[in-house]
Structure 1
Amino acid sequence: MHPLSWLFAVLSALGLTSGTPFDLHPRAVTRISASELAGFAPYTQFARAAYCPTDVLKDWKCGEACEANSDFEVSLVGGDGDDIQICKYSPSLGAVIVAHQASAILFSDLTDADILLATPSTALFPGISSSVEVHSGFLNKHALTANVILAKVKSIMNSKVTNNIVAIGHSLGGALAEIDTIFFRFNIPSASISAMTYGTPRVGNHAWAALVDASDVNFKRIDNEIDPIPIVPGRFLGFEHPIGEIHILSAGNAVSCPGDDDASDADCQIESVPTIFEGNILDHLGPYEGIYIGTIFCT
């Protein structure tokens, strides 16, 4: 059996499909203009750059991804030996950029014992409600570098006199970027926070999605065609995406989907990919408006 077929079989056995117990009500999508789609490119290139080795990122020499944001000032590059995080300042965007790489163990993160939901630590998320729960594996990954990144973000904000933070990531990196939005909101409440995530799996429960929705974060999660990753873990396991889905249907053609994890419109992701068996894992890599994201595309 092909390794991906085996993976899909495991996901299916664990119920990681798009089945849902929630009531759904029809809501209309809105088309994304060509100019808005083009405006995503700098952020997509940051997500792409996060896959590159630290030795080239330190000098910001990672080929097209770095050239696309040539004025970028690298401040922190590193991680836990597996994931790479980049913290830096972008003069052209006027913001501190925090970009997370995905992990090679994304699929096992979605299928192992860490599938359990857990309440984020009040040490990192002071005052968070006990009703809020997040994928425990994602929380553990985030905690590894959270305090180091927070200190660097505060330092850059002070030195550059900016109030803007943008969290970026693809796949598991997107999940970490989503967690960052609330982490920064709790720890830097005055910041103007945005997030651009790509091919992101579900991160937390309904209370988590509601918290992201209510947090005054400009949150966008972009999914590509029939990528199966955004429909896992399954909603019947308690997971739910926040508002902010942008679904790429084809080159130059994307829609903004309303509501949390909306399934009522055929153009939204979980209607396009009802189960993982109907998805195409290659769509997870892109193209996101002509840009592919992954280790083999970092130069």
Structure 2
Amino acid sequence: MEQKSLIILIILTCLIAPSCGRELLVTHKDKQAVYNRTLATILVEYASAVYMSDLTELFTWTCARCGGLTKGFEVIELVVDIQNCLQGFVGVAKDLNAIVIAFRGTQDNSIQNWVKDLFWKQLDLKYPGMPNAMVHHGFYTAYHNTTIRPGILYAVKKAKEFYGDLDIMVTGHSMGGAMASFCALDLTVNHEAKNVQVITFGQPRIGNAAFASYYGKLVPNTVRVTNEHDIVPHLPPYYSYFPQKTYHHFPREVWLYNLGLGSVVYQFEKVCDGSGEDPDCSRSVTGSSITDHLNYYGVDLTFIRWRSCRIVMDPRVEEYGKTDDKGNIVLSRDPATLVPRMNTLSNGREATYNA
């Protein structure tokens, strides 16, 4: 009887509380992000689509993950760094009245090795213009020192020239979330972009407490969504006894977790405090699950099938692209121009590219 009463109480709470499935809006006296569940469930679909390896379907937005809440998205530029196995795109979502930038995360086949490596990663790079701020060299380099950054910045400039001063929304999963964060900071600090919003999923730590403090002030409209026992947000490790020297998440975290009562499981979303390291959120559990890392809001965040950085592309799409001497590819088009539909592109031929 007591258990039944408890279940009824939880159900009634969910009916009046926005954290049980409805859009959750939480305001703060300090200048920090407001969590919008509806927007998060849209951007997670962009973070999923960027994993697609068929560039023809992705560039024409006809892929299996290119419908649903992202239907009608206009890709302006698709950047594939073959050399470093990186991928991202820039486009315009007219329903959001925003430029959307998405970065691909780590291949699922290599996550276990990548996670193992992250246990030993040290803060090894001073972030320019931020005294005492240290960041993860690999994540910083993946955005700043590859073909990704110039391609992204050029596409944002082109979109703004055509559509005007749209908001910018940046997203990514796993390592893609780390790259999304560096991109948002770059746009804000170096390119004076306004109204930059970030929502990432399963993102690792990327810098120390000094960096997290700078980031929180410069890009306050940032939400890091973490899921249950996802292992990646726990990496690289946070050592509470070395608060200034260890890796430290920036705010604001939203933690997705389940609570089971008998055979009934309820899903909750907790908006965490402004520290970036709320002990009552994902840090309250052991980060031990790769399965929890690969699915957020019921959306798969992984490759449909592992291709070892292999991509495919119809040769007729190549007229939209440029390939450098290292094989890196940029597919680009002018905003609001028509792209041939898939049924006119597909002729049974495709080129393959391997890292």
Aligned equivalent of 1:119, options 120, 126, 140 = 126
Cα separation, 1, equivalents of 2:68 and 2:40: 16
Aligned equivalent of 1:291, options 281, 299, 305 = 299
Q: Residue in 2 aligned with 1:272? A: 285
| TM-score of the aligned structures, taking structure 2 as reference length | 0.67
Give how far 1:32 is off: 3.0
Cα separation, 1, equivalents of 2:121 and 2:39: 36
1:255 aligns with 2:270: yes
- 1:48-59 aligned at under 5 Å gives the runs 48-53=48-53, 54-59=55-60
- 1:1-16 aligned at under 5 Å gives the runs none
SS in 2 for 1:255: strand
Q: Which runs of 5+ in 2 are unaligned?
A: 1-16, 24-36, 240-244, 259-265, 307-355
Q: Max radius of gyration: which structure?
A: 2
1:146 aligns with 2:146: no
CA offset digits 1:203-257 (Å, max 9, x no partner): 1111111012101431011011111110110123621001110100136411111
SS in 2 for 1:296: coil
**RMSD over aligned Cα atoms:** 2.3
Q: Residue in 2 aligned with 1:94? A: 97
Contact 1:31 1:255 in 2 (8 A): no
- Farther-moved stretch of structure 1 (168-177 vs 210-219): 210-219
Give how far 1:174 is off: 0.5
Cα separation, 1, equivalents of 2:61 and 2:151: 20
Cα separation, 2, equivalents of 1:91 and 1:203: 31
Give how far 1:111 is off: 1.6
For this pair of structures, how many residues does the alignment match? 256
Cα separation, 1, equivalents of 2:212 and 2:237: 14
Contact 1:87 1:149 in 2 (8 A): yes
Cα separation, 2, equivalents of 1:223 and 1:109: 16
SS in 2 for 1:35: coil
| TM-score of the aligned structures, taking structure 1 as reference length | 0.79
- State the AA in 2 paired with 1:284: H
Cα separation, 2, equivalents of 1:197 and 1:297: 23
Change (3 A) 1:162 1:109: farther
Q: Residue in 2 aligned with 1:233? A: 236
Cα separation, 2, equivalents of 1:109 and 1:291: 21
Contact 1:87 1:96 in 2 (8 A): yes
Q: Indicate the structure whose relative CO is greater, using CA pairs within 8 Å and at least 6 residues apart.
A: 1
- 1:1-299 aligned at under 5 Å gives the runs 32=19, 34-36=21-23, 37-53=37-53, 54-81=55-82, 82-104=85-107, 107-108=113-114, 111=117, 115-120=122-127, 122=128, 128-143=129-144, 144=146, 145-236=148-239, 238-250=246-258, 252-265=267-280, 268-273=281-286, 276=287, 279-286=288-295, 288-296=296-304
- State the AA in 2 paired with 1:71: G
Q: Percent identity?
A: 23
Change (3 A) 1:119 1:163: farther
Change (3 A) 1:193 1:297: farther
Contact 2:90 2:156 in 1 (8 A): yes
- State the AA in 1 paired with 2:223: K
Give how far 1:66 is off: 3.4
Cα separation, 1, equivalents of 2:123 and 2:115: 10
- Structure with bigger helix share is 1
Cα separation, 1, equivalents of 2:277 and 2:292: 20
Contact 2:123 2:208 in 1 (8 A): no
Q: Which runs of 5+ in 1 are unaligned?
A: 1-29, 123-127
CA offset digits 1:21-48 (Å, max 9, x no partner): xxxxxxxxx9735222344211010000
